[in-house]
Amino acid sequence: MPGAKAVFLAGPREDVGRYRRVFRVVFERGSYDGLAISPDGRRAEAVLELKPVIELLSVPADLKRWSKATSPPHKPVKLWESRYRGRKCIAVSTIGFRSYGYDFYAYVKKTFSGVVTVRGYVAAADTFWPWLIHGRRAAYLYVLDADNPSRIIRKYKIGKDPAWKRFKVRVEGVGGEYLIAFGRPDLWAHDWGLKVYVSGVEIERELEPSLRVEGLARLANRGSIDVRVRLKLVAGHGLRELVVTLGGVKQVVVSDGDVVLGEGSWVTLSPGRAETVSIECKGAGDFVYRILVEASSLDGAEMERLELTLKSP
């Protein structure tokens, strides 16, 4: 008819294709280079290299940062700020006392644990007659019990001259907390004016290896319907601390080596949406963790499992 307009309706096959129900959740790359994803997007493996964190403490020649002690306890000892041979320093001494048969030292008030490297300058001075100096003039670095500064855990000889000497000592294999001290033994009834000077002390502490990755991977809904996903730890060992989140929601938590959260809450993904998987972990040695990603349609009609592996190199 003149002026009539044709109206075309979609056929059955075209309509089915346009509104087809698609359920598909996959891993996609995040910001982490050490992630490998299978071609179908259902498996991801992250190789995580944890590195120790280095903390450097400089200890000035300030009495606010130092204290004194002896072993056995309650023996006489002097501690003061000084200047010796061009360097500002801490001095510790038994000059003016006749007591003997003990170690005396100045210790840094801060406590330490684990592995530390101690550097600085030390000098040992006294009034020994020349033929008495050998074997008697010495300066030591002491490792002390943090709860009892009079208990010596171990000591390292670091000097034997009145001139400044640079030293470096690595302290390791000491359990619990401890103190770092500098001094020498006084084994003689005669007052030989024993002194130890220490300057420029730096203590480098190796903190537990750790790693934090924001955006390790992405979980993406590449289907046409809303889905919900969550992470579930099924096996693993080796890390002291591990936190895995999905879209900011905690899914897996390991604390002091024990699993305190093995299954997370559901996170909803609408079509085309992706959420980020992030991790924080601490520990030393080899480790491996196997984590399942459970994905489901909101009505439970479709379900799928993906797998994420976290491992050491």
pLDDT digits (tens, 9 = 90+) for 31-68: 999 999 999 999 999 999 998 889 999 999 999 999 99
Percent of the chain scoring above 90 in pLDDT: 90
The Cα 47–Cα 211 span in angstroms is 12
Give the residue with greater pLDDT, 100 vs 53.
100
Report CA torsion sign: 241, 244, 245, 250.
negative
Average pLDDT over residues 244-266: 97
3-state DSSP call for residue 16?
A: helix
Of 91, 86, 90, 92, residue with least CA distance to 60: 90
C-alpha 41 chain-centroid distance: 33
Instruction: Tell me, letter by letter, the H, E, C secondary structure of 185-218.
Output: EECCCCCCCCEEEEEEEEEEEEEEEEEEEEEEEE
Q: How does DSSP classify residue 263?
A: B
Residue 9 has pLDDT above 80, yes or no: no
Residue 6 has pLDDT above 60, yes or no: no
Q: How does DSSP classify residue 9?
A: P
Strand pairing report for 303-311 and 43-47: parallel
Q: What is the pTM of this model?
A: 0.68
Domains of the chain, first to last: 21-52+208-311 (2.60.40.10), 55-207 (2.60.120.260)
Determine if the peptide bond prior to 72 is cis (ω within 30°).
Answer: yes
Predicted pLDDT at 97? 96
Q: How does DSSP classify residue 132?
A: G
Predicted pLDDT at 18? 57
Residue 250 has pLDDT above 60, yes or no: yes
Residue 102 has pLDDT above 70, yes or no: yes
The partner residues of 76 in beta bridges, in order of sequence, read: none
3-state DSSP call for residue 19?
A: coil
Predicted pLDDT at 14? 46
pLDDT digits (tens, 9 = 90+) for 149-188: 999 999 999 999 999 999 999 999 999 999 999 999 999 9
Average pLDDT over residues 97-116: 96
Predicted pLDDT at 278? 98
Give per-residue burial for 46-61: e unless 16+ CB within 10 Å, then b: bebebeeeeeebebeb
Residue 2 has pLDDT above 70, yes or no: no
